[in-house]
Amino acid sequence: MKIDILTLFPEICRAPLSESMMKRAQENGIVDLRIHNLRDWTTDKHHVVDDAPFGGGQGMVMKPEPIFAAVESLRKENSFVILMTPPGKSFTQSLAGNLSKHEHLIVVCGHYEGIDHRVTEHLIDMEISIGDYVLTNGAIAAAVLVDAVVRLLPGVLGHEQSSADDSFSAGLLEAAQYTRPAEFRGWKVPEVLLSGNHAEIAAWRKEQALRRTRENRPDLLK
């Protein structure tokens, strides 16, 4: 898969996407990730990327020209163009799975008070929000999206099984996990996990996943 991120703050995306599994995914050629500075597509002396909103109002709006120039220079026939923005469609595990099937993602990061709507109307395939809160800019959101998508590409996780057991994959949150020591400060690991009985362990995990989901995310059970 190829991913191009377009942002005014490349460094915000760079660090989280260059460690651990994301680093290995790139070294192993599973993902070709490029992080670009949108200012590189400005043509004026001062590299201006924003302007005051028509109709008045607070804050600045990102200009369309550098974004169109950048996307049009990177876009191929199979590209899918995303805009990270709070009013976008909610990002979920299932959307991450759909996006991981694309050959090429272009991720545009919004900043300032917003982005000229002609970008959204004529250039973007999908607006995406990572949650119901507002960040200072879309670069953090882009790093979150890219991490979740790349993690699902074949060969990125150690065990092919492990993403199937994730929270959300089966519509429930993941069951609690334990490791050694079997007793810590007097708190014992549930007996069943030491039993070696795989059927009982699976049943216990299912019940724990249900309990956790009921407690933390009852909306998932509806």
Q: Which residue ranges make up the site for ligand ADE (CB under 6 A)?
A: 84-86, 110, 129-131, 133-135, 138, 141
User: What is the closest distance, in whole angstroms, from the C-beta atom of residue 115 to ligand ADE in the complex?
Assistant: 10
16, 75, 113, 165: which is the annotated catalytic residue?
113
Q: Does 113 participate in catalysis according to the annotation?
A: yes
Neighbours of 3 (CB within 10 A): 23
14, 39, 75, 151: which is the annotated catalytic residue?
151
The SS3 assignment for 4 reads strand
The secondary structure of residue 202, as a DSSP letter, is H
Closest to ligand ADE by CB, 66 vs 110, is 110
Q: Does 24 participate in catalysis according to the annotation?
A: no
Residue number closest to ligand ADE, CB atom:
141
Closest to ligand ADE by CB, 10 vs 138, is 138
Closest to ligand ADE by CB, 83 vs 209, is 83
User: What gap in Å lies between CA 123 and CA 202, rounded to an integer?
Assistant: 47
Closest to ligand ADE by CB, 70 vs 135, is 135
Tokens of 88: 């976008």
User: What is the closest distance, in whole angstroms, from the C-beta atom of residue 79 to ligand ADE in the complex?
Assistant: 20
Measured CA to CA in angstroms, residue 127 lies from 73, 84, 86, 93, 213 at distances of 20, 6, 9, 16, 28
User: What is the closest distance, in whole angstroms, from the C-beta atom of residue 89 to ligand ADE in the complex?
Assistant: 10
129 close to 90: Cβ distance less than 8 angstroms: yes
28 close to 155: Cβ distance less than 8 angstroms: yes
Peptide bond connecting 181 to the previous residue in cis, omega within 30 degrees of 0: yes
User: What is the closest distance, in whole angstroms, from the C-beta atom of residue 88 to ligand ADE in the complex?
Assistant: 6
Q: Would you name the residues annotated as active-site residues? A: 86, 113, 151, 166
